[in-house]
Structure 1
């Protein structure tokens, strides 16, 4: 045991594997599913679900069959997008994302095709950088609204029925740094704080909690004082760590008893820990070396994946209906950040959505070579 572990507690383990936080509804200590093709894995997983249901009294099998259809459709648009150039590429990306979203809704019990479905967003002809949220009523299904609800951050029209492109882009961690390098978000500070999040236990392995840490250098470029306010203040308390002076540490106020050698206790403890962490709006980013976590210091009204879907809708709609605006956007100040988002956001979306749909941790194999 290291000095840091003696001071803060050791990392919780299950079957000799470190127990880490993920927002996917996975089990405690679940293994990584390494796949270089999340679409193929998702379709194989859906096949296993379809074949495992013999008597479909609850129509679950029917929903899985539809989900597989949309997953295959999403893959088809993704393949087409890789062969296309902007602006056509933007349209293909949007259709690949929204079809994966439909698969996610179906797996979560939404029986699509029963009502008129609409995107839930529009780009008014008199607007250039503002998307409009569709009105919600019982006559149709807004895919964007229902997705935001199920993914955990419901977007409501009462907060304003327009979403600015700047708001969308600032909610994408993949392009966060380039946005600030290009001075696209004036009068704001960077908000995605790289953190180390560890689920820990005390020396007797009878109590469970979590700690959050970040490097002190970020105090100068981010509003880290927010960690002492609002939701952060309610859930975290600062602690002194003598064995590591380069970071600032926080401990969860949630601490409860558990039985280390009990499967039932582990599952219950992990579920409670994940529920507590979820409200902090921690954003996972997948890399070839595993997942990295970022704390959103100024979360907007959108989940990060909702923002990705809104971005794809914007570039796809501009491509289809607004040739003059397309020229302005692709040649103007947003050119570099849009190109970066087009290159990096879809793959993140595919892996994360596959993890959410399957309740497993999908990751990129280190052996994958681009």
Structure 2
């Protein structure tokens, strides 16, 4: 039987930026930045406390723009902290006011694997983990190098900085969901550029995905299917949302003019830290904000060694990536940037 693209409310369905409660019926939001849109959305929903935190985040974001890399992690982190409070408050989540994450340096060498991030059991970051349905890693520690390896928008910079590093992310093209005519069977499917297909690809996309060659092109499909029936749209949509949440743990976005999607490969060490990039960005920026605030001379040393470009890329790129992700989680909408920006 032939396969066709899955459609909801007359439009083809694709991956969504929101993990928790994505709205697949709504149109995407095209905006240079999501600040004003989310503020208006929160006003319309009468979420005044969340609006206060969101606008606080915006003020810290504006301060960040004019600061150098050595200083901006402090304001970036407080932007992330307040945006997270906006998300939690908008969804009626309770949280303790402490940060829920700490950090420290070890050894004298300026290295990202000497910068430790300690995950704690209570506070803002654990509340974010709980909301997203992720482990809070309470009592565990990771290095900034561990965390940076798992963030897609700096992964190329990471691999160029640390020669010989295992590439964790595989770019996907033509992503979407398919359904089989005459059947309730539906699934996720994407294409992969043949440049990224080699002897290790098939094993690295396991578990849960399979690779096919079709007419000289390569396709990745999710092994697990979900039930879709046009006669029972609400049950079908519920099945789809559960399915989408599961695959979004492995398929992650970079927010851009057309959001780009990457499959997180199954390689040694990838399962030590399984959180989404919102949590990883928050935790990493907290450590950098501590260095910026409490030990700026030590922090400046990190810009004089081989990982300086990677560090700078994270500091410059993470605010937009974090804010777009937060905007999607708050509103349930998909945000993309116009090409002009």
Q: TM-score range by the shorter chain?
A: 0.7 to 0.9
Q: 1:315 aligns with which of 252, 277, 288?
A: 288
Q: Give TM-score scaled by structure 1 length.
A: 0.80
| 300-309 or 72-81, larger mean C-alpha shift | 300-309
Name whichever of 323-332 and 172-181 sits farther off. Answer: 323-332
- Residue in structure 2 matching 1:16, options 4, 10, 17: 10
* Aligned match for 2:129, one of 140, 148, 172: 148
Q: Partner residue of 2:154?
A: 175
Question: CA separation in 2, counterparts of 1:248 and 1:270?
Answer: 21
- Separation in structure 1 between the aligned mates of residue 321 and residue 85 of structure 2, nearest angstrom: 17
- Among 28, 42, 47, the alignment partner of 2:43 is 47
Which of 240, 253, 262 lines up with 1:270 in the alignment?
240
- The 3 A distance-change label for structure 1 pair 143 and 22 is same
Q: Is 1:119 paired with 2:99?
A: yes
* Contact 1:318–1:326, Cα closer than 8 Å, also in 2: yes
Q: Is the 8 A contact 1:191 1:222 kept in 2?
A: no
Higher mean C-alpha deviation, range 67-76 or range 218-227: 218-227
* Partner Cα distance (2:289, 2:172) in 1: 33
- What residue is the counterpart of 1:31 in the other structure? 27
Q: CA deviation at 1:135?
A: 4.3
CA distance in 2, matches of 1:255, 1:125: 47
CA deviations on 1:130-156 (whole Å, 9 max, x unpaired) are 3342543xxxx4212221222232232
Tell me, what secondary structure is at the counterpart of 1:313?
Answer: helix
Contact 1:121 1:133 in 2 (8 A): yes
Count the aligned residue pairs. Answer: 328
Partner of 1:56: none
In structure 2, the gaps of 5 or more residues are none
- Give the match for residue 201 of structure 1: 179
Cα distance in 2 for partners of 1:340, 1:276 equals 29
Larger Rg: 1
- Partner of 2:145, secondary structure, is helix
Cα deviation, residue 126, structure 1: 4.8
Deviation of the 1:43 alpha carbon: 0.9
Counterpart CA distance in 1 for 2:24 and 2:72 is: 39
Q: 1:107 aligns with which of 90, 110, 113?
A: 90
Q: How far off its partner does 1:308 sit? A: 0.8
Change (3 A) 1:93 1:276: closer
Pair 1:253 & 2:253 matched? no
TM-score, normalised to structure 2, is 0.87
Q: Which whole-Å deviations, capped at 9, do the CAs of 1:24-82 have from their partners, x for residues lacking one? A: 222334310112231111111110010xxxxxxxxxxxxx2221111011000001111
Report if aligned partners of 1:18, 1:29 keep a CA contact under 8 Å in 2.
no
Match of 2:118 in 1: 133
**Aligned equivalents of 1:49, 1:225: Cα separation in 2:** 46
Offset of residue 226 of structure 1: 2.5
Deviations for 1:222-254, whole angstroms, at most 9, x for unmatched residues?
A: 7551223xxx2xx3344x4433x2314334322
Question: For residues 224 and 329 of structure 1, do their structure 2 counterparts lie closer, same or farther at Cα, with a shift above 3 Å needed?
Answer: farther
CA distance in 2, matches of 1:283, 1:266: 23
Cα root mean square deviation, aligned: 2.4
Other-structure match for 2:264: 296
In the alignment, the residues of structure 2 paired with residue 221 and residue 169 of structure 1 have an alpha-carbon distance, to the nearest angstrom, of 26
